[in-house]
Amino acid sequence: MTPASTVLALSGGVGGAKLALGLERVLPAGELAVLVNTGDDFTHLGLRICPDLDTLLYTLGGVVHTGQGWGRADESFGFMEELRRQGGPDWFLLGDRDLVLHVERTRRLAAGERLTVLMAEFAQRFGVRSRLLPMSDTPVATLLDTEAGELEFQHYFVRLRCTPQVRALRFAGAAQARPTDELLNVLHSKALQAVILCPSNPYLSIDPILAVPGMRAALRASGVPIIAVSPLIGGRAVKGPTAKIMQELGIEASPASIASHYAGLIDGLVLDHADAAHAEALAMPVLCTDTLMSTLADRERVAAAALELATALSRSRARSRA
Ligand code: FO1
């Protein structure tokens, strides 16, 4: 059944999933769709691993390890212990229960199933009320050109702990990728009210989504307000390498840089109170709130702020049309 109203959130992993959970909690059941980065996906030990999709699945399914923000709370590591004993690569932690998803996904993809379809089934089994939409059904890999050579995302992020200096990024496979029919249905639906860019890393997590040919145009053509939540608080990233990468790419870690990065796509920006002084200089509507999302109440507050800005923009558009 098509919901009466829909909000689409664009998300990477841990930080994005926090806001997605906030959105899910403040919206009526079934009204959230999440468009998820798959540039972090890789094949490891012969298994197809989709960390951001699984982080959303576990977070919205209520089984995530809340301390780390990824993986499951109820997890054991017998497989990893034995892999280590056998001298296998142990830098990427795969819990025993988590492993089942990777095995099943790999088996079903090899049998010709689409990632979108099998993730929807996983989501149903985890009791997720929102729609989880991979950014594409064909593989796209975020590759980082670093001082240590070209690195696949998980090798940069987990194995090397984001240490190598980043010179450039590219998204291998993006040119062949396409927005899925499931996503286009959401974007073409009259029920769509707003698009929210979660405070995920703009370069590592949102750019791969926007690199899919036709994605930017399809988001814009939806005609609804597009709001970004800044991943920076007072020039620093809450978690992860956003500020470090911005500095290495020669970009100032400021709200102005986030606004100009998303220029032509977004209509408004949610900033932390710590950045309120920057608001006036930005050529777009801004709403300030505390954007740190430690508790569930924080996530709901940031979600409500993003929706409030979207609603205000919709109303002012309706007034100017009248
Ligand atoms: N993050 C880590 O920091 N270390 C890990 O060993 C690790 C394993 C892992 C396994 C499955 C999964 O779905 C996620 C995992 N992550 C791990 C998180 C992941 O690397 C990042 O959260 C995202 O790719 C960044 O958005």
**pLDDT tens across 34-79, in order?**
999 999 999 999 999 999 999 999 999 999 999 999 999 999 999 9
Atom of ligand 1 nearest to the CA of 40: 24
pLDDT, tens only, 161-215: 999 999 999 999 999 999 999 999 999 999 999 999 999 999 999 999 999 999 9
In sequence order, which residues have a C-beta less than 8 Å from that of residue 133 and are 6 or more positions away?
33, 34, 35, 36, 116, 180, 182, 183, 186
Q: Does ligand 1 come within 6 angstroms of the Cβ of 77?
A: no
Atom of ligand 1 nearest to the CA of 13: 26
Inter-residue contact 158 to 137 (CB < 8 Å) = no
Q: Determine the distance separating the centroid of ligand 1 and the alpha carbon of 158, expressed in angstroms.
A: 7
Q: Does ligand 1 come within 6 angstroms of the Cβ of 24?
A: no
Q: Whose CA is nearest to atom 25 of ligand 1?
A: 13
Q: Determine the distance separating the centroid of ligand 1 and the alpha carbon of 286, expressed in angstroms.
A: 32
Q: Does ligand 1 come within 6 angstroms of the Cβ of 54?
A: yes
Q: In the block, which residue shows the tokens 């020669």? A: 250
Report the DSSP beta bridge partners of residue 192: 6
Q: Kindly list the structural domains of the chain, giving each domain's residue range(s) and its CATH number in brackets, ordered by start.
A: 6-321 (3.40.50.10680)
Give the global pTM.
0.97
Q: Over the Cα atoms of the chain, what is R_g?
A: 19
Which of 168, 258, 208 lies closest to 10 in space, CA to CA?
208
Inter-residue contact 128 to 107 (CB < 8 Å) = no
Report the DSSP beta bridge partners of residue 268: 227
Q: Which string of b and e fits 264-281 if b means at least 16 CB within 10 Å?
A: ebbbbbbbbebbeebbee
Q: Whose CA is nearest to atom 9 of ligand 1?
A: 93
Ligand 1 pocket test target in 132, 157, 198 with most atoms within 8 Å of CB: 157
Where does the pLDDT of residue 2 fall: very low under 50, low under 70, confident under 90, or very high at 90 and above?
Answer: low
More confident residue, 98 or 237: 98
Percent of the chain with pLDDT over 90: 94
Q: What is the pLDDT of residue 237?
A: 81
In sequence order, which residues have a C-beta less than 8 Å from that of residue 181 and are 6 or more positions away?
none
Q: Whose CA is nearest to atom 4 of ligand 1?
A: 158
Per 3-state DSSP, the chain is made up of helix, strand and coil in percentages (nearest 5) of 45, 20, 35
